[in-house]
Chains A and B, each alone.
Chain A
Amino acid sequence: MEAPEEARQPHHVLKPKTFLMIVVMVVCGPLGNTFLGKGMKQIGSVGVWPVSHLISSLSRILTTPSIWMGIGSLIVFFIADMLVLSWADYSFVRPASALGYGMVALLGYSMLGERVSPLRWTGIAIICLGVFVVSRTTPRTHTWETMERE
């Protein structure tokens, strides 16, 4: 495949900090969701009514370490997302963060011994190809700062 024209221009290459933030998102997003899922499974069924049930549910949720690990990971994910969006295109970051689907499968396969179907591996391979194609485009095409500060 021929590299798109903009990929050859030196000022438009993928910066290490963009790469780093996307890695943080791809790791922390799925990790956070996995921790939250694990925590909620440990807690079991959650009653919300009457109020006494709601209070006991909330106290069980808030005293489960996995829940806090999940919330922490998702906060890190969201901060990395905000930071990268402060300089890179949304249409660049959003598809790139889809690598998280591959991460979920890898985490499930290696840590939980889950079986990953061939269809899922195929999907992950296509996502990787798509992210590769997106990563060859200019990470930043917008001119917001100049537009908004004039």
Chain B
Amino acid sequence: MAHLLLFAVIVLAGTGGELCVSRAMKRVGEATSFHPAQVARVVLRALGQPWMWVGVSMMATAFFALLGALSIYNVSFVVPVTALSYIAGALGAMIFLHERVTLWRWVGVLLVALGVTLVVLGKS
């Protein structure tokens, strides 16, 4: 049970955090140039977005939860975590960011999730 809870926290807080950062950036609006002053302005505006701070806090929570999990379980723990986070990310993008995830994008996301799973398995 604790195992499952920790697992859920890592996937949901990690993906949720990235979705919140993404939402903050969409509110900031498109960065139009890579001039350092423009980049600094975009970053500063992002830091003024509440979603940015919610996102960063969630990502930090996921990071420390993962460190904790890796001290208890072995590396095979990260396999389902990384694979599921790609799928959760695409679902979250549809619901929370109103992105249109087409069939082709789903195919790509599932291939990436499968590939990442094999890479993690191949490392451990």
What is the interface of chain A, defined by CB distance below 8 A to chain B? 4, 6, 17, 79, 81-83, 85-87, 89-92, 94-95, 98, 101, 105, 116-138, 141-145, 147-148
Size range of the chain B interface in the assembly? 35 or more
CB of B51, distance to nearest CB on chain A (Å): 11
Whether A87 and B30, one on each chain, are in contact in the complex, defined by CB atoms closer than 8 angstroms, is yes
When the two chains form their complex, are residues A82 and B105 in contact, meaning their CB atoms are under 8 A apart? Answer: no
User: B3-42 toward A: CB 8 Å interface, digit per residue (1/0)?
Assistant: 0000000000000001101110111111100100001001
Q: Are A90 and B19 in contact (CB under 8 A)?
A: yes
User: In this complex, what residue of B is CB-closest to A118?
Assistant: B122
Chain B binding surface SS class: helix
A70 to chain B, nearest CB (A): 15
CA distance A95 to B102 in the complex (A): 14
Partner of A137, one of B108, B115, B120: B108
A-B contact pairs, 22 of them (CB 8 A): A85-B26, A87-B31, A90-B18, A90-B93, A101-B115, A116-B122, A120-B123, A124-B119, A126-B115, A126-B118, A127-B111, A128-B115, A130-B107, A130-B115, A131-B108, A132-B108, A133-B108, A134-B109, A143-B98, A144-B27, A145-B30, A148-B27
Contact of A129 among B19, B109, B111, B113 (CB under 8 A): B111
Contact B115 A124 (CB under 8 A): yes
